[in-house]
Chains A and B, each alone.
Chain A
Amino acid sequence: MDIEQALEIVSQTHPGVVRSHNEDSVVYDESCGLVVLADGMGGHNAGEIASSITVSLITTEIKNSLENMRPEDRGESGEDVGVMLLREKLQKANTTIYNASLSQPQCAGMGTTVVAGLFYDNRLAVAHVGDSRMYRLRGEIFEPITRDHSLLQEQIDRGMLSQKNARLSRNKNLITRAVGVDPAVDAEIQVHAVQVGDIYLLCSDGLNDMVEDDEIGAALQMLRANLQLLARQLIEMANDNGGRDNVSVILIKINGEFAVPRGWLAKMLSWFKR
Chain B
Amino acid sequence: MAAKLILSMNGGVLREYALDKERITIGRKPHCDIVIDNLAVSGEHAAIVTILNDSFLEDLDSTNGTLVNGAVIKRHFLQSNDVIEIGKYILKYLNDQKIQSTAADFEKTMVFRKSSRIASATPVKADQYEMTGKLMSAEQPQSAPAENTSELRQPAPVTVSPEKAPDSQQKIGVIQILIGPNAGKELELVKSLTTVGKSGLQVVVFTRRPSGYFITHVEGAKYPNLNGKPLDDQPRQLNEHDIIELAGVKMEFYIKS
Contact = CB atoms under 8 A, between A and B. Distances in A.
B105 A209 contact: yes
Interface in B78-119: 79, 95, 97-101, 105-112, 118
A131 interface: yes
Residue with the highest number of chain A CB atoms closer than 10 Å, among B140, B163, B205: B205
A154 B132 contact: yes
B135 A42 contact: no
- By DSSP majority rule, is chain A's interface helix, strand, loop, or mixed? loop
A222 B195 contact: yes
Given A170-B53, A229-B216, A223 B195 contact: yes
Interface residues of B, number: 56
Nearest to B140: A182
Contact of A173 (B107, B118, B166): B107
Interface in A154-182: 154-155, 158, 160-161, 165, 167-178, 181-182
Interface string B138-175: 10101100000000111000000101101000000000
Contacts of A222: 193, 195, 205, 218
Nearest to A241: B166
A181 B111 contact: yes
B120 A174 contact: no
Interface in A32-47: 39, 41-43
Interface in B9-47: none
Interface in A227-274: 228-229, 233, 236-237, 240-242, 244-245
Given A209-B101, A225-B219, A175 B164 contact: no
Contact of A175 (B51, B111, B142): B111
Q: Is the interface of B mostly helix, strand, loop or mixed?
A: loop
Contacts of A130: 109
A109 interface: yes
Interface in B158-206: 161, 163-164, 166, 191-193, 195, 199-200, 203, 205
B143 to A, nearest CB: 8
A91 interface: no
A155 B137 CA distance: 19
A149 B106 CA distance: 20
A69 interface: no
A48 interface: no
Contacts of B233: 228-229
A237 B219 CA distance: 20
A209 to B, nearest CB: 7
B230 interface: no
Nearest to B53: A170
A176 B111 contact: yes
Given A222-B193, A229-B216, A41 B110 contact: yes
A184 interface: yes
B111 A229 contact: no
B66 interface: no
Interface in A73-130: 102, 109, 111, 113, 130
A215 interface: yes
A181 to B, nearest CB: 5
B53 A244 contact: no
15 contacts: A109-B143, A109-B153, A155-B54, A160-B75, A168-B77, A168-B99, A170-B52, A172-B107, A174-B110, A174-B111, A175-B111, A175-B112, A186-B137, A244-B105, A245-B105
Interface of B: 51-54, 56, 75, 77, 79, 95, 97-101, 105-112, 118, 120-121, 132, 134-135, 137-138, 140, 142-143, 152-154, 161, 163-164, 166, 191-193, 195, 199-200, 203, 205, 207, 209-210, 216-219, 233
Interface of A: 18, 39, 41-43, 102, 109, 111, 113, 130-131, 150-151, 154-155, 158, 160-161, 165, 167-178, 181-184, 186, 205, 209, 215, 218-219, 222-223, 225-226, 228-229, 233, 236-237, 240-242, 244-245
